[in-house]
Amino acid sequence: MFHPKVLKNLAPLLLLSAAAVLAPTIASASYGDSAASQVTSIRVVRYHDLDLSQKDDVATLYARIRRAATEVCKASAASAVQLDCYQEAIATAVARIHSPSLTAYYQHRTAG
């Protein structure tokens, strides 16, 4: 069994894999393109240097996730697809980290 800190150091978050795969599929359905012609993009977000029990470090990680989501989703053709990709990418990344403090931060930021 892995301790969370060990797992954190061994596997940096591969951000947006689900969103990067999902967004081109949505775009393909909207524009009639084949899914095979779409290019996906994945960004690695490293957080081994952060202590997620500290508010400032949680905010830093969230900013890194948002920045990566922006990079990955900017290639989407339509603004609605781009927004869906961005939101899904962030939600997926937050969920994959399994950090209560990051999840609470994300929920606070997206409540509205």
pLDDT > 70 in the chain, percent: 60
111 CB-contact burial (10 Å; exposed 0-12 / middle 13-18 / buried 19+): exposed
**Concatenated DSSP letters of 32-46:** T--GGGPPP--EEE-
Is residue 29 predicted with pLDDT exceeding 50? no
Is the pLDDT at 108 greater than 70, yes or no? yes
Q: What is the pTM of this model?
A: 0.67
- Express each pLDDT in 54-95 by its tens digit: 999 999 999 999 999 998 888 666 677 888 889 999 999 999
Domain ranges of the chain: 4-110
Tell me the two tokens of residue 89: 């990418």
What is the structure's pLDDT at 82? 85
